[in-house]
Amino acid sequence: MRIAVCPGSFDPVTRGHVDIVERAARLFDLLYVAVLDNTRKQALFPAEERVAMLREATAHLPNVCCESFTGLVVDYAQSRGADVIIRGVRSPSDCEYELQMAGMNRELAPGIETLLLPTSPAYAHVRSSLVKEVAVLGGSVDAWVPENVSRRLRERLQAKGGAGR
Ligand code: PNS
């Protein structure tokens, strides 16, 4: 059984993430999509809500399991019996960072490979931080995030007293 993990912040999940998850899910028997629960980084959504949004957005993929994790991604991968870490890359600058992470993860856990999947061109410009910026300023983000995420973004921003369209 081939098991992989696809880790990230997913704050929030975008259509670009869903594209990577759909394509990775075709390559493995079981794919864990793992939200880093990082108390040192200020996120818009708590980890449980990011996992909930991922579950909604990947409900059509039977071999995908979404959950949160803390600590090192290689430790999490090993705890799930996974020997591959999947990361999506949008650009050469993404690759630079991803290669550094892959190198460090390889030293931490030589048995775990990192697989970089190029983002589909339609989503190469989509980034969670920019989605949040547009949403905060009242723009529509429907083109870049699944419908459930768009709705939750509006609700969260309204609750925080921001714009949200
Ligand atoms: O979506 P992001 O923010 O680009 O994801 C980054 C993530 C979560 C994959 C990375 O920060 C990570 O793996 N963090 C877990 C802690 C860890 O293992 N750090 C060492 C990586 S070399």
Domain ranges of the chain: 3-124
> Is there a cis peptide before residue 12, judged by omega within 30 degrees of 0?
yes
The Cα 17–Cα 57 span in angstroms is 10
| The pLDDT value given to residue 163 | 61
User: What is the pLDDT at residue 40?
Assistant: 82
- Residue 69 has a pLDDT of 98
The pLDDT value given to residue 39 = 81
Model's pTM, two decimal places? 0.95
Return the CATH fold of 3-124.
Answer: Rossmann fold (3.40.50)
Mean pLDDT by 10 residues, the chain (165 residues): 98 98 98 94 94 98 98 98 98 97 98 98 97 96 97 92 62
Atom of ligand 1 nearest to the CA of 108: 22
What per-residue confidence (pLDDT) applies to 165?
A: 54
Task: Give the residue from 5, 1, 10, 3 showing the smallest Cα distance to 75.
Answer: 5
161 CA to middle of ligand 1, Å? 30
Query: How far, in Å, is the centroid of ligand 1 from the Cα of 59?
Result: 24
Cα separation, 28 vs 79, whole angstroms: 17
Query: What is d(CA 23, CA 9) in angstroms, rounded to the nearest whole number?
Result: 19
